[in-house]
């Protein structure tokens, strides 16, 4: 007897997850499964699609290995679109033939909606949905300088980020009166607009495009309803999605009034042989445009096909996002529209650009919804209150108001077993506990068994907290060792090195570890040794511990060349030195760019040219900028009282003083400083690890801020300090961080995990509550006194210079480095 034929149309994230669920249930013994995907790529991660422009490729975005389907007995037919479903003959039709089915699943997803604007079909009018779409955008951007995204929702802002990453002057045009109208209210939308505009992206709301025509200065001219115009070279439509339901419509399945294939709780359509999942499916008059509901549908559909009982009963549409580097979170009834008796709490900080809103029940006991713009730090806690119906604190506003202790948080022990930890895969705390009871002993085993934190990854921190807590509750000691070679934390290793005066990795591992070391412990110990003694990292005893960047004292770039970043203290540079940088860049064919840290980066240096380049720079008075190290990078400054009519102190002078003082300090993670000459804050000191702002009464000191993937505002540690007090406070703060932080832990994360919070940090740094102030200052003096420019030392050592060649047995340069010219400069081909 032949096996029943199961055909799945669509190989997106939900279609792929359905296959995983079927394999998990042993369905390959019950069905012969065939999957059709119209794209040439196997299933890939659309959640992180924008990372394609940041260097990831189709292979790294793929959701499985190339042989996954074949290994598990599933036939995958890529680049073969299904064009029709013949329900009478139970067959699907492609341009390559007809294929019979016994059961059929529609996982066709959605397509980007392009408004029927006259001119929308012109060249360089594109959409943002697939890898091929992104290839088309990248190709069009090569001959463009400006780009516009039509649509200011989630996908529109993702597309804007992509255009900005392609170095186009970018604008967002939104029909609604605010950005992300489904997720944020008027106040949140205005703050989101301000934050995005501060990044250099123009935002135009309340704009309806009437037509697109030939431009004068650019390829397109967009004409709006008020006859205002905007010219651009490239247009990307990201104005929403529509279900890919044409196959279902053509074969007369029951459809929703506004599209989508109607399904029941078992994901069955009006034809019991056909199921639908994901964005093509209409359940209870709702289309779900997020991956988590799609995964839940896939699980229900797999159970339906295999005789199980799981059903789809809807899904929460709460979201935690980072768009153009800006945090946005929406939970439940964030607008407060569903409950007439709901009460609302709002907090708006226009200086820090943070907006938080709570919607609570009339009695103030339950959280109905929440909205966050600018800072998602409290999202996980609020989500647990909402998802599990937990009773709120006596003062619900404490969950969103700033305080020295921070907002009340829910520990892992406060969460019920039914608490959802991972919404993508619907993993509860109870499921995690069951996995631990079944024998899992670490985070990796829990993730492998439950799939928790393998979707969008937003639950990673909460998952680790729950696993660690539950292991400890079961009497299992949670191993915090830095790696298998040392049964110590980074902090413990730091104390051992400092107390015992150990100066080499070999001596440390002989006394306190075992084996040969690894890529985790070697760089960590290298950093510890440098922090304690500041011996040159290129010395023979230390060089085997360094990663590529530290080994060659330069950052390796994507094409195998290196960047050269001389120090420019405080951003101040003489015309003569500017000329030197220009001359060196011309001589060695280097791409030049002024950075956000007020330095000039020179990109594209070949390995064998690095000594000659640095020889010329050092002769002109430059020294290494440590751009390659976990160390102090830059001290940004405004022009201060020297030039600015608002300045109340010499911010440039202080920035130069701080940069020269701390330029040799190695730390668990990179460090960035800034000094502003007044409270107008032009140097953006409140987003730095160490931020200094001048007032009429002295210096205010902010600490533990950072940009990057998870921005965090710095916190005010001390006010009205004179120069000596400022230096002393920074010395103690930095050394306390270096001494107690974990491996590769930023100051912001260190501060969030610091027991006692900011008050404790003040007590240690300002009041010397631990009695270690003199010791911390002495440690800093040791580092400062031992400083030397690493490049200057390397140039005087013939043995060190031997490292700078592409091939051990050949002096010729690397022939695989190929460049092309763009905007008058060389870049990787």
Q: Is 306 annotated as a binding residue?
A: no
The pairing of beta strand 169-173 with beta strand 146-150: parallel
Vertex 75: Cα angle to 74 and 76 (nearest 5) = 115
Q: Cβ(171)–Cβ(204) under 8 Å?
A: yes
For residue 16, which of 66, 69, 92, 70 has the smallest C-alpha distance? 69
Q: Is 13 helix (H, G, I), strand (E, B) or coil?
A: helix
* Parallel, antiparallel or unpaired: strands 146-150 and 241-243: unpaired
Query: Going by C-beta distance under 8 Å and a sequence separation of 6 or more, which residues neighbour residue 76?
Result: 11, 35, 37, 42, 69, 70
644 is in an annotated binding site: yes
433 known member of a binding site: no
Are 689 and 675 in contact, with CB atoms under 8 Å apart?
A: no
* Alpha helices per DSSP H over 319-456: 379-387, 429-437, 443-450
The answer to whether the annotation marks 64 as part of a ligand binding site is no
504, burial (CB in 10 Å: exposed 0-12, middle 13-18, buried 19+): middle
> Angle of helix 757-765 relative to helix 723-740, nearest 10 degrees?
120
Dist. CA 287–CA 305, nearest whole Å:
22
Tokens of 175: 């029909």
Tokens of 577: 């030195």
The tokens describing 627, both together, are 């751009």
Task: Give yes or no for a contact between 325 and 200, defined as CB atoms under 8 angstroms apart.
Answer: no
End-to-end CA distance of the chain: 57
Question: Which residue carries 């009871």 as its tokens?
Answer: 437
Helix (H) or strand (E) holding 368: strand 367-373
Two tokens, residue 251: 């074969």
- DSSP code at position 363: T
Binding residues: 638, 644, 678, 682
Binding residues for [4Fe-4S] cluster: 638, 644, 678, 682
Binding residues for siroheme: 682
């Amino acid at each position: 007897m032949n096996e029943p034929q199961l055909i799945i149309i669509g190989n997106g994230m939900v279609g792929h997850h359905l296959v995983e669920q079927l394999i998990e249930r042993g369905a390959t013994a019950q069905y012969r499964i065939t999957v059709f995907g119209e794209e040439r790529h196997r299933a890939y991660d659309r959640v992180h699609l924008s990372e394609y422009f940041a260097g990831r490729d189709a292979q790294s975005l793929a959701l499985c290995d190339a042989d996954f389907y074949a290994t598990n007995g599933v036939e995958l037919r890529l680049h073969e679109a299904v064009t029709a479903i013949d329900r009478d003959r139970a067959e699907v039709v492609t341009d390559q033939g007809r294929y019979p089915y016994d059961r059929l699943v529609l996982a066709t997803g959605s397509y980007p909606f392009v408004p029927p604007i006259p001119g929308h079909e012109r060249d360089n009018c594109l959409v943002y949905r697939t890898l091929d779409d992104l290839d088309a955008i990248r190709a069009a951007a090569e001959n463009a300088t400006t780009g516009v995204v039509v649509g200011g929702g989630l996908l529109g802002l993702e597309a804007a980020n992509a255009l900005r990453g392609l170095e186009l002057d970018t604008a967002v045009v939104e029909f609604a009166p605010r950005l992300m109208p489904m997720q944020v209210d008027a106040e949140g939308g205005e703050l989101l607009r301000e934050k995005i505009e501060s990044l250099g992206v123009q935002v135009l709301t309340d704009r309806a495009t009437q037509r697109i025509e030939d431009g004068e200065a650019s390829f397109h001219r967009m004409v709006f309803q008020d006859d205002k115009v905007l010219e651009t070279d490239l247009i990307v439509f990201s104005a929403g999605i529509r279900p890919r339901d044409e196959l279902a419509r053509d074969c007369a399945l029951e459809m929703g009034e506004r599209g989508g294939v109607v399904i029941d709780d078992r994901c069955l359509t009006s034809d019991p042989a056909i199921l639908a999942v994901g964005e093509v499916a209409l359940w209870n008059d709702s289309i779900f445009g997020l991956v988590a509901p799609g995964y839940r549908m896939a699980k229900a559909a797999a159970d339906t096909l295999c005789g199980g009982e799981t059903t789809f009963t809807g899904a929460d549409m709460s979201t935690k996002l980072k768009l153009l580097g800006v945090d946005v979170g929406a939970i439940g009834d964030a607008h407060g529209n569903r409950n007439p008796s709901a009460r609302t709490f709002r907090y708006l900080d226009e200086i820090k650009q943070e907006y938080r809103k709570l919607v609570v029940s009339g009695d103030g006991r339950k959280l109905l919804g929440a909205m966050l713009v600018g800072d998602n730090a409290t999202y996980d806690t609020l989500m647990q209150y909402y998802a599990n119906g937990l009773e709120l604190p006596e003062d619900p506003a404490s969950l969103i108001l700033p305080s020295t202790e921070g907002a009340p948080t829910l520990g892992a022990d406060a969460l019920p077993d039914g608490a959802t930890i991972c919404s993508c895969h619907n993993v509860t705390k109870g499921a995690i506990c069951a996995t631990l009871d079944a024998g899992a002993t670490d985070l990796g085993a829990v993730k492998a068994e439950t799939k928790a934190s393998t979707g969008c990854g937003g639950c990673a921190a909460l998952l680790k907290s729950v696993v660690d807590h539950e292991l400890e509750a079961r009497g299992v000691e949670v191993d915090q060792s830095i790696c298998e070679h040392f049964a110590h934390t980074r902090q413990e290793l730091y104390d051992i090195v400092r107390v015992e005066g150990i100066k080499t990795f070999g001596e440390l591992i002989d006394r306190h570890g075992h084996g040969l070391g690894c890529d985790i412990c070697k760089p960590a110990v290298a950093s510890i040794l440098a922090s304690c003694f500041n011996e040159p990292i290129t010395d023979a005893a230390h060089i085997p511990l360094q990663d590529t960047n530290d080994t060659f004292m330069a950052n390796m770039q994507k094409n195998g060349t290196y960047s050269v970043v001389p120090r420019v203290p405080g951003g101040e540079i003489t015309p003569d030195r500017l000329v030197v940088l220009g001359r060196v860049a011309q001589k060695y064919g280097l791409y030049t760019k002024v950075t956000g840290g007020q330095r000039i980066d020179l990109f594209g240096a070949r390995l064998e040219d690095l000594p000659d380049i640095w020889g010329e720079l050092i002769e002109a008075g430059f020294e290494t900028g440590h751009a390659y190290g976990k160390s102090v990078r830059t001290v940004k400054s405004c022009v201060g009282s020297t030039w600015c009519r608002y300045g109340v102190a010499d911010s440039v002078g202080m920035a130069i003083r701080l940069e020269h003082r701390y330029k040799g300090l190695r730390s668990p993670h990179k460090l960035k400083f800034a000094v502003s000459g007044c409270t107008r804050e032009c140097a953006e000191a409140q987003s730095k690890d160490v931020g200094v702002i001048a007032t009429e009464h002295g210096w205010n000191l902010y600490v533990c801020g950072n940009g990057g993937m998870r921005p965090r505002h710095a916190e005010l540690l001390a006010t009205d300090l004179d120069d000596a007090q400022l230096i002393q406070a920074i010395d103690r703060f930095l050394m306390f961080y270096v001494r107690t932080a974990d491996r590769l832990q930023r100051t912001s994360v260190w501060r969030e995990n610091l027991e006692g919070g900011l008050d404790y940090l003040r007590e240690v740094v300002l009041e010397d509550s631990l009695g270690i102030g003199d010791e911390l200052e002495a440690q800093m003096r040791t580092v400062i006194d031992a400083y030397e420019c690493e490049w200057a030392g390397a140039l005087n050592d013939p043995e060190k210079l031997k490292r700078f060649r592409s091939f051990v047995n050949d002096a010729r340069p690397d022939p695989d480095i190929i460049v092309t010219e763009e905007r008058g400069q060389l870049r990787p081909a």
